[in-house]
């Protein structure tokens, strides 16, 4: 009798263990590496910087202070996936393997990028350039002053005149501009990732 009870308990535990190993409600039933359209995106937000094939996606809460640390992820995509994207696009993205490097911003490889909105708006700041300090040897030491406030320029900062790409040489005192920030603050310095001249 004791053996029968012990055997029944063992079989019950085995069945419980096997059913616990099944799909969780949020698992992709088709398995890893399958069509990401059946999965929820791993990240969503606004592209705030572009560096080659990498895009910085920031999901900042409305009215959050500039010095807050919002969810920010650098996602490395194949070149064709990011060929036509711009800073300011609202996007959804799927990670290739779900692995995220735990830096800030985090980093991952992307498998799919979906544009939710291509309206980039007018940036985080609109104003007039009142001073330009360019360092030809080290762009990280280059600054632009807009309406009396200094902003750092980055090697990845992109420049536009309307919808046409231009180079840094177009920055002149008196020019009206729209500027985009990374979405989080590095130290106490405000940096610009995209600058558009408004004609």
Does any domain span residue 97?
Answer: yes
Instruction: Kindly provide the b/e burial profile for residues 103-140, where b requires at least 16 CB atoms within 10 angstroms of the residue's own CB.
Output: eebebbbbbbbeeeeeebeebbbebebeebeeeeeeee
Integer Cα distance of 198 and 140 in angstroms: 24
pLDDT given at position 177 = 96
Say whether both 107 and 53 belong to one domain. Answer: yes
Extended strands (E) in 96-175: 106-117, 125-133, 143-146, 149-161, 164-166
Integer Cα distance of 170 and 164 in angstroms: 12
Residue where the block lists tokens 């990670």: 95
193 with 145: CB under 8 angstroms?
Answer: no
- For 186, other C-beta atoms within 10 Å of its C-beta total 10
66 with 78: CB under 8 angstroms?
Answer: no
| Residue ending a domain, choose from 117, 142, 163 | 117
Say whether both 138 and 111 belong to one domain. Answer: no
Does any domain span residue 91?
Answer: yes
Say whether both 72 and 131 belong to one domain. Answer: no
Does any domain span residue 20?
Answer: no
142 with 135: CB under 8 angstroms?
Answer: yes
Say whether both 129 and 192 belong to one domain. Answer: yes
Say whether both 135 and 82 belong to one domain. Answer: no
Does any domain span residue 22?
Answer: no
Does any domain span residue 13?
Answer: no
- pLDDT over 70, % of the chain: 76
Say whether both 171 and 149 belong to one domain. Answer: yes
Say whether both 100 and 132 belong to one domain. Answer: no
pTM listed for this prediction:
0.75
Integer Cα distance of 27 and 11 in angstroms: 27
Does any domain span residue 30?
Answer: no
Residue 105 preceded by cis peptide, ω within 30: yes
The predicted-structure confidence for 92-146, as pLDDT tens digits, reads as follows 999 888 778 888 899 999 999 999 999 999 999 999 999 999 988 887 889 999 9
Instruction: Kindly provide the b/e burial profile for residues 52-91, where b requires at least 16 CB atoms within 10 angstroms of the residue's own CB.
Output: ebbbbbbebeeeeeeeeeebbbbbbbeeebbeebbbbbbb
| Residue ending a domain, choose from 117, 151, 172 | 117
Say whether both 136 and 156 belong to one domain. Answer: yes
Host domain of residue 105: 39-117
Mean pLDDT for back-to-back runs of 10 residues, the chain (199 residues)? 55 49 37 54 93 92 65 93 93 87 90 94 95 87 94 93 90 95 80 92
First-to-last C-alpha distance (Å) of the chain = 91
Does any domain span residue 12?
Answer: no
Integer Cα distance of 136 and 113 in angstroms: 35
Tell me, what CATH number does 136's domain have? 2.40.50
Q: How many domains does the chain have?
A: 2
User: In the structure encoding, which two tokens stand for residue 154, read together?
Assistant: 């980055």
Say whether both 54 and 100 belong to one domain. Answer: yes
């Amino acid at each position: 009798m004791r053996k029968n009870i012990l055997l029944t308990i063992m079989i019950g535990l085995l069945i419980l263990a096997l059913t616990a190993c099944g799909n969780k409600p949020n698992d992709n039933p088709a398995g890893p590496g399958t069509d990401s359209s059946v999965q929820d995106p791993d990240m969503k937000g606004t592209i705030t910087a572009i560096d080659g094939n990498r895009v910085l996606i920031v999901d900042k809460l409305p009215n959050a202070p500039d010095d807050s640390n919002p969810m920010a992820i650098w996602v490395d995509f194949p070149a064709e996936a990011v060929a036509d994207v711009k800073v300011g696009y609202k996007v959804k993205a799927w990670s290739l393997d779900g692995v995220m490097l735990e830096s800030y911003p985090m980093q991952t490889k992307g498998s799919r990028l979906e544009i939710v909105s291509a309206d980039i708006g007018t940036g985080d700041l609109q104003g007039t350039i009142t001073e330009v300090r360019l360092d030809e040897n080290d762009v990280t030491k280059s600054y632009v002053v807009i309406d009396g406030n200094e902003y750092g320029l980055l090697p990845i900062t992109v420049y536009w005149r309307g919808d046409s790409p231009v180079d840094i040489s177009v920055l002149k005192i008196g020019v009206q501009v729209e500027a985009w920030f990374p979405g989080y603050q590095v130290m106490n310095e405000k940096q610009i990732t995209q600058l558009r001249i408004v004609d």
